[in-house]
Chain A
């Protein structure tokens, strides 16, 4: 039973446009949500996070939105740049206990 789902294995976006990556979860006890970015031959690196008491968190070009009623979060990247091409993982935890990870979405930014 996948508690964290990223239903799009890949996403292709034109450079300069908005990239929207989606993540759904089933466990209502999750109270922290994180996005990690992974380049080939490297480990995941932390990008941005949000707690369940917020519905939006912004850091430069990256914004994460949380819709608790729908158990859905999304990562917006505006504007998309070639260096944003990577695999993006959504992860969630309850009380900062074990992180549960989605399968990842490969983002391709086209020039």
Chain B
């Protein structure tokens, strides 16, 4: 099983619908993140959580909300989906105590959830 699991992997929905993307992890990491990837752009941070009681907005949080139900679960919601939220969404986790050889904080990603809003 994957360390970071995202569901659904693909979703097509209509404008105005509420959508939830779910993420669960078995790595035991405290930190979890939601990113969005658009063609020609790098990943952009939507929300992040350093523990169950800590939720922080990222670079592009407007139109999104999150819930950290447990250490292992972090869900992303689009309350009223719009076409420009069509994108590939990634969940990631990290452990600040387990850095890459350089000391950098290394993220582990899920396989992604492709969302299309018509």
Contact = CB atoms under 8 A, between A and B. Distances in A.
Please classify how large the interface on chain B is, using the bins under 10, 10 to 19, 20 to 34, 35 or more. Answer: 20 to 34
Interface residues of A, number: 29
A61 B114 CA distance: 32
Nearest to B42: A101
A85 interface: no
Nearest to B9: A41
B68 to A, nearest CB: 18
B104 A51 contact: yes
A33 B105 CA distance: 10
A79 to B, nearest CB: 22
B12 interface: no
Interface string B78-94: 00000000000010100
A106 to B, nearest CB: 11
Given A43-B4, A43-B112, A49-B101, A98 B106 contact: no
B90 A44 contact: yes
Given A32-B104, A32-B105, A46-B100, A100 B90 contact: no
A34 interface: yes
Contacts of B110: 43
B42 A102 contact: yes
Interface string B20-62: 0000000000000000000011111100100000000011000
Interface of B: 4, 40-45, 48, 58-59, 90, 92, 96, 99-112
- Counting from the closest, the 4 A-B pairs by CB-CB distance are A101-B42, A43-B109, A32-B104, A49-B104
